[in-house]
């Protein structure tokens, strides 16, 4: 049975871990607190890729108070040397007598190694406190580290009758300001954002992150453009940003055409084509090999439909505004052919419903 105090301090560590969102990928977000005599004497989180781990930051803050204390950490401490030394040795050197861990590290190369080593050194280890919350926090890391494919989220904003734009392509704005602010947090958390070239032609978006309270990170911009028809005046080609820009084209696009676009500091990546469109399933292997651990698909309807039919989607986030287009000629959420019968629908589980102003957000997972 989990002690109430263990749960309380682990929740504190989880809140700390969230501070690393957007900065640590492809590493996980991790938080840690050190408790002695019922009081927190040290805390820390993993700030960014290549920087000190959460346990190290917490131990450094605690100093000598860490001796004979309890460490609460949201992910199994590492027992190997990567970009930083193993955290297990730091824990032992600090004299910590008990370690409470939310979840094992799913990395096939290290799973259980840190916990096993600490137990061998006679450290008391408790596993599984707030495990579900820890797994949700690092759902993208878990998918990527175990499959080498990105965790894929489909986001859309629609009217109550399921349209993301009018018949003229007008989509500004379907949802309200609060929903749009939350979408920028989704962009900040994702490694990459993906759209089709039709969205670029119609909306000419920047695909950047704009937040007021923190330094937002722009996701890598991925544009699916089978025939490399992106307009020269597209904002994504002209925008100055530290994040990468990738255009995915069919393998038949000429070398000269690719070279001309790449002069704009854009990487053109040839990929397999299926039924006249980029084979989005095979593309996930390519993007995973590039170290992209999470992707936010923002449209349009053809890309969303292709992603769902290819079964590459892990999570959906649908925003519905209290508006009715009232016709059958607007742009639907999903383009392309659907199933013959209702029993072929894609099931969505673990539903969560939230309000953003007058809008309703439905979040769920696809198995």
Residues 109-158 pLDDT 10s? 777 789 999 999 999 999 999 999 999 999 999 999 999 999 999 999 99
Sequence-distant (≥ 6) Cβ neighbours of residue 140 within 8 angstroms: 25, 150, 151, 191, 293, 294
Crossing angle between the packed helical segments 54-62 and 87-94, to the nearest 10 degrees? 20
Would you give the distance in Å from CA 158 to the centre of its chain?
22
Regarding pTM above 0.85, the answer is: yes
The position carrying tokens 């989880």 is: 14
Tell me the CA distances in angstroms from 263 to 1, 237, 239, 250, 268, one per residue in order. 61, 10, 14, 19, 10
Contact 44/61 with Cβ under 8 angstroms?
A: yes
Which pLDDT belongs to residue 2? 64
What value, to the nearest 5°, has the Cα angle with vertex 300 and ends 187 and 169? 115
Count other Cβ atoms within 10 Å, centred on residue 167.
12
Alpha helices in the chain (DSSP H): 4-17, 54-62, 87-94, 113-120, 131-137, 139-147, 177-189, 197-203, 235-238, 255-262, 280-289, 301-309
Model pLDDT for residues 322-334, shown as the tens digit of each residue: 999 999 999 999 9
CA distance 44 to 62: 10
Confidence of residue 211 (pLDDT cuts 50, 70, 90): confident
Instruction: Supply the residues annotated as catalytic.
Output: 55
Token code pair at residue 245 = 């820009």
Longest dimension (CA), the chain: 69
Predicted local distance difference test score (pLDDT) of residue 82: 66
For residue range 242-276, what is the model confidence (pLDDT) as tens digits? 789 999 999 989 999 999 999 888 999 999 999 89
**Tens digit of each residue's pLDDT (9 = 90 or more) over 212-243:** 877 789 999 999 999 999 998 899 888 777 78
> Closest by alpha carbon to 28, among 133, 135, 109?
135
Q: Please say whether the beta carbons of 97 and 123 come within 8 A.
A: yes
Q: Write out the two tokens for 361.
A: 């957000």
Residue 100 to residue 115: CA distance in whole angstroms: 10
**Cis amide bond preceding 26, omega within 30:** yes
pLDDT higher for 359 or 1?
359
pLDDT number for residue 362: 98
Q: In terms of C-beta density within 10 A (0-12 exposed, 13-18 middle, 19 or more buried), how is residue 349 classed?
A: exposed
pLDDT of res. 1 = 52
Confidence of residue 310 (pLDDT cuts 50, 70, 90): very high
47-84 pLDDT, tens per residue? 999 899 999 999 999 999 999 999 999 999 988 766 66
């Amino acid at each position: 049975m989990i002690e109430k105090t263990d749960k309380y301090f682990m929740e504190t560590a989880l809140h700390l871990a969230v501070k690393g969102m957007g900065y640590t990928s492809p590493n996980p977000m991790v938080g840690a607190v050190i408790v002695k005599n019922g009081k927190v004497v040290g805390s820390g989180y993993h700030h960014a890729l290549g920087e000190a781990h959460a346990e190290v930051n917490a131990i450094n803050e605690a100093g000598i108070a860490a001796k004979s204390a309890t460490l609460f950490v949201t992910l199994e401490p590492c027992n190997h040397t990567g970009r930083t030394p193993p955290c297990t040795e730091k824990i032992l050197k600090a004299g910590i007598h008990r370690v409470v861990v939310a979840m094992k590290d799913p990395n096939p190369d290290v799973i259980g190694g840190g916990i096993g080593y600490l137990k061998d050194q006679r450290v008391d280890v408790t596993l599984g406190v707030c495990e579900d919350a820890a797994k949700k926090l690092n759902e993208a890391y878990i998918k990527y580290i175990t499959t080498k494919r990105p965790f894929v989220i489909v986001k859309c904003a629609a009217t109550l009758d399921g349209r993301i734009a009018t018949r003229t392509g007008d989509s500004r704005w379907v949802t309200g300001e609060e929903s749009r602010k939350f979408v920028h947090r989704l962009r900040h958390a994702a490694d990459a954002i993906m759209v089709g070239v039709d969205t670029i032609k119609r909306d000419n978006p920047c695909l950047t992150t704009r937040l007021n309270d923190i330094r937002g990170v722009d996701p890598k911009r991925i544009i699916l453009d089978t025939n490399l028809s992106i307009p020269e005046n597209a904002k994504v080609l002209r925008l100055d940003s530290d994040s990468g820009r990738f255009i995915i084209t069919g393998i038949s696009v000429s070398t000269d055409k690719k070279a001309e676009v790449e002069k704009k500091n854009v990487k053109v990546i040839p990929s397999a084509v299926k039924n006249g469109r980029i084979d989005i399933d095979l593309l996930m292997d390519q993007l995973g090999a590039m170290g992209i651990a999470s992707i936010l698909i923002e449209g349009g309807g053809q890309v969303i439909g292709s992603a769902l039919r290819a079964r590459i989607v892990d999570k959906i986030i649908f925003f519905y505004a209290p508006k009715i287009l009232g016709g059958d000629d607007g742009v639907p959420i999903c383009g392309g052919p659907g199933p013959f019968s209702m029993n072929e629908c894609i099931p969505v589980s673990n539903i969560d419903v939230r309000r953003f102003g007058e809008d309703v957000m439905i979040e769920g997972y696809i198995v």
